[in-house]
Structure 1
Amino acid sequence: MADAGRRGTRAYIGSFTAAGGRGITTASVAPGSGALTVLGSVADVPDPAYLALSPDGDTLYAVSETAEGTVAAYRVGADTSELAGPPVPVGGSGPVHLSLFDGHILTANYGSGSVTAVPVRPDGTLTDAPSAVLRHTGSGPHTPRQLGPHPHQVLPAPGGRWAVGVDLGTDSVRVYTSAGNTLEVHREIALRPGSGPRHLAFHPFAPYAYVLNELTPTVTVCHWDADDGTLKPLAETPVLSGPPDGDAYPSGIVASPDGRFVRTAIRGEDVLSTFAVEGEELRLTGTVTCAGHWPRAITESEGFLYVANERSGDVSWFALDPDTGLPRYEGSIEVPAAACVVIGPEPART
């Protein structure tokens, strides 16, 4: 019988089954070294491209990035996860991101240009249908990527009062608020036309948010007003020290828990960039290889950075230098068509 007071750490890795992925892979995380060891996998839903954990770590949620997009809840087990009810249609196509907000799962539906809210029951399972589907409008100057709206991320802001949605197609960030059992747009903040915002990370305690732009490889530093629920763009910083050798498509961004560093992944160049946080500015301090090809997503946990390298089919981990913030490659595991990594406690069990 396991000691419930001494929970270890697990990594949950989503992958594209259409490209040979295994669905959702569970791996143990070794204390001290951060090393991953594969425990098992399940492929109940196709293309689980993004995952999110409940606060207690016992329920895992996954979007199915398909034309008939769905979201599913899983009960986390020792080595794999088990579906906790049938997948729920999100009323949109191509969901690429999800998060928990005010008793709901929110999904960013890239293909249909919408954000969906699905209520979560007290036991962590999902209701049978969404309570809201918000359809974005607008476009941008980049052809063909910005012919219409394309939400790429939706996540709660610090404090839990607001949620924000990052829309690559409309060069904007929308701020949402919950209204009873539904979701409403509070306001929309315009970013530079053609920038193509993809993901956003909040500073852990200062009033800043960092928007990673895919169509122009930059980070937009914004002031975040938690009272009014608004962003104010302040500055835009390149993610590379010079012009890229070829294509450069930023993908993931994280802010360190101590607030000293921001890190990004750049596909094509296949590098990880580290920035020092200097008040309202970011200063690029260095880039290192991602140890694979096409780093789609990154996550940070307990002094390590984990990178899902989609096209080389692996997840790499890096130790983070506490002084410089720079990542140092430590190892990799094979995960075909890796799409994302989330880290959490191993499930409580008796």
Structure 2
Amino acid sequence: MRDNAMPRRRFLTAAGALGLAGAAGVVATTSTACATTSSAAPQPAPAMHHAAGLMTLIGSYTSASPAGRGLEVATRNDAGALEPSGVVDGVPDASFFAWSPDHKYLYVTNEIVPNGTITAVDLSQHHPVVLGSQPSGGAGPTHISAHPSGEFIFTAHYTDGTVAVHRRNADGTIGENTDLVKHPGAEPHAHQVLVDPSKQWVVAVDLGADAVFVYAFDTATGKLTQHQHLELPAGTGPRHLAFNYERAYLLAELKSEITVLDWDLDAGRFTPGQVIGTREPDASGENFPAEIAITRDAKFAYASNRGDNNIATFAITGEGLEFRGTAPTGDWPRHFALDPEQTSLYVANQRSGTITRLTRDPNSGALTPTEDVYECPSVAAITFHG
């Protein structure tokens, strides 16, 4: 969910007391730009400057202050810097991305409260064409992923703690809603939903319920059936996890730590193991980790610290994770992405409204800040079309 100056702990308490349906600072109105459905005619691609380089898609909050630009396109030049290319109309409050398995279509959460939507964008011709939007099925859509078969899309809703399933049509548009499940608990806040490496199970991480839910998924009906409810210590606030085949690394927003989970692919069950902090030993003050990712060679993991404003590096070992240090970023690193070559890491710093680039040593995993800064108010997420 979007984050502003109110710390998450205080917001959870305040929202429960007031019975609010939105996150801290969220404007509870629906943008008219988001009122289209998949039955609408595709919107023509905006005029853009197509510089040579890697296409980069950037999401930001249009209803925030300062207002972001929604979905925009940049290009990464040969030196690694991002250059603006254009803004895609009709995709407000673009807060997270998911690619279709063939990497031709992008799906975007429009994190509008209370009635969020998800938008399909055709990039098969290497320029964005908005195919339309559909109601996400819940309130405050904050994460989206595609089934490896390409036939379904999953959306996690922070505000009402639900997970929705939609069919994906052959033309890339978003089809019917096939299921909507609500997590148990007084204040569930689903923050991530994804398919496990075996492609058998759907996993949802819930920050408010302090839990990870494993679902069996019926690809004929598009229905979810709860299989495991992994409870974590109260106040953990799990946000995102990253799979490493038979392991997963679960990042806790409220405790600044990562729990290493053993994953039984056949049984569809997690078993908690090592717990390791994300901060430097002398770090102080409030800190709220946001994103976690592992490298393609499964040798390193990275996690962002909002508050300390850095990216933590971990070596992946046979026993778990080994903390290797941190590299500074801008203010409030909400999301980051490795480029396709995995030689740089690009960080979306929400409060400073910047994307900063850190170079990466593939042997040591070490990150080094560069002078490359891309300006984007209220930036939320970044991905590459490569």
Give TM-score, length-normalised by structure 1: 0.89
TM-superposition CA deviations, 1:39-97 (whole Å, max 9, x none) = 11124132111111222322111111111011110112778522113x11122100100
Identify the residue that residue 195 of structure 1 maps to in structure 2.
236
What is the CA–CA distance in structure 2 between the aligned matches of 1:181 and 1:30, rounded to whole Å? Answer: 44
What is the CA–CA distance in structure 1 between the aligned matches of 2:103 and 2:76, rounded to whole Å? Answer: 14
Identify the residue that residue 28 of structure 2 maps to in structure 1.
none
Q: Superposed, which structure 2 residues align to 1:302-321 within 5 Å? A: 302=341, 303-321=343-361
SS of residue in 2 equivalent to 1:149: coil
How has the CA–CA distance of structure 1 residues 208 and 152 changed in structure 2, closer, same or farther, with 3 Å as cutoff? same
What is the CA–CA distance in structure 2 between the aligned matches of 1:78 and 1:131, rounded to whole Å? Answer: 29
Q: Superposed, which structure 2 residues align to 1:65-80 within 5 Å? A: 65-66=111-112, 67-76=114-123
Identify the residue that residue 295 of structure 1 maps to in structure 2.
333
Identify the residue that residue 97 of structure 2 maps to in structure 1.
51
Amino acid at match of 2:376: V
What is the CA–CA distance in structure 1 between the aligned matches of 2:306 and 2:100, rounded to whole Å? Answer: 29
What is the CA–CA distance in structure 1 between the aligned matches of 2:188 and 2:174, rounded to whole Å? Answer: 27
Identify the residue that residue 48 of structure 2 maps to in structure 1.
none
Identify the residue that residue 16 of structure 2 maps to in structure 1.
none
Alignment coverage as a number of residue pairs: 325
SS of residue in 2 equivalent to 1:288: strand
Long gaps (5+) in structure 1: 1-6, 140-147, 346-350
TM-superposition CA deviations, 1:217-254 (whole Å, max 9, x none) = 00000101111111110011000122532110000000
What is the CA–CA distance in structure 2 between the aligned matches of 1:57 and 1:282, rounded to whole Å? Answer: 31
> Does structure 2 retain, via aligned residues, the 8 Å contact 1:17–1:43?
no
Q: Which of 75-84 and 222-231 deviates more? A: 75-84
Is 1:13 the counterpart of 2:58? The answer is yes
> Does structure 2 retain, via aligned residues, the 8 Å contact 1:150–1:170?
yes
Is 1:339 the counterpart of 2:363? The answer is no
What is the CA–CA distance in structure 2 between the aligned matches of 1:174 and 1:257, rounded to whole Å? Answer: 25
Q: Which of 316-325 and 256-265 deviates more? A: 316-325
Give TM-score, length-normalised by structure 2: 0.81
Identify the residue that residue 160 of structure 2 maps to in structure 1.
112
Q: Superposed, which structure 2 residues align to 1:96-245 within 5 Å? A: 96-101=142-147, 102=149, 103-127=151-175, 129-139=176-186, 148-179=187-218, 180-184=220-224, 185-203=226-244, 205=245, 207-242=246-281, 244-245=283-284
> Does structure 2 retain, via aligned residues, the 8 Å contact 1:194–1:216?
yes
SS of residue in 1 equivalent to 2:177: coil
What is the CA–CA distance in structure 2 between the aligned matches of 1:295 and 1:77, rounded to whole Å? Answer: 30
What is the CA–CA distance in structure 1 between the aligned matches of 2:77 and 2:62, rounded to whole Å? Answer: 27
Q: CA offset at residue 136 of structure 1? A: 0.7
What is the CA–CA distance in structure 1 between the aligned matches of 2:251 and 2:239, rounded to whole Å? Answer: 6
What is the CA–CA distance in structure 2 between the aligned matches of 1:124 and 1:269, rounded to whole Å? Answer: 40
What is the CA–CA distance in structure 2 between the aligned matches of 1:91 and 1:215, rounded to whole Å? Answer: 27
> Does structure 1 retain, via aligned residues, the 8 Å contact 2:71–2:92?
no
What is the CA–CA distance in structure 1 between the aligned matches of 2:126 and 2:297, rounded to whole Å? Answer: 31
Q: CA offset at residue 279 of structure 1? A: 1.3
What is the CA–CA distance in structure 2 between the aligned matches of 1:224 and 1:72, rounded to whole Å? Answer: 32
What is the CA–CA distance in structure 1 between the aligned matches of 2:335 and 2:152, rounded to whole Å? Answer: 23
Task: Give structure 1 regions of 4+ aligned residues with deviation exceeding 4 angstroms.
Answer: 77-80
Amino acid at match of 2:378: A
Is 1:323 the counterpart of 2:371? The answer is no
Identify the residue that residue 25 of structure 1 maps to in structure 2.
72
Q: CA offset at residue 25 of structure 1? A: 1.3
Amino acid at match of 1:309: N
What is the CA–CA distance in structure 1 between the aligned matches of 2:95 and 2:105, rounded to whole Å? Answer: 17
How has the CA–CA distance of structure 1 residues 14 and 21 changed in structure 2, closer, same or farther, with 3 Å as cutoff? same
Identify the residue that residue 270 of structure 1 maps to in structure 2.
309
What is the CA–CA distance in structure 1 between the aligned matches of 2:321 and 2:384, rounded to whole Å? Answer: 26
Identity %: 37
TM-superposition CA deviations, 1:17-36 (whole Å, max 9, x none) = 012110111122235x4322
> Does structure 1 retain, via aligned residues, the 8 Å contact 2:146–2:152?
yes
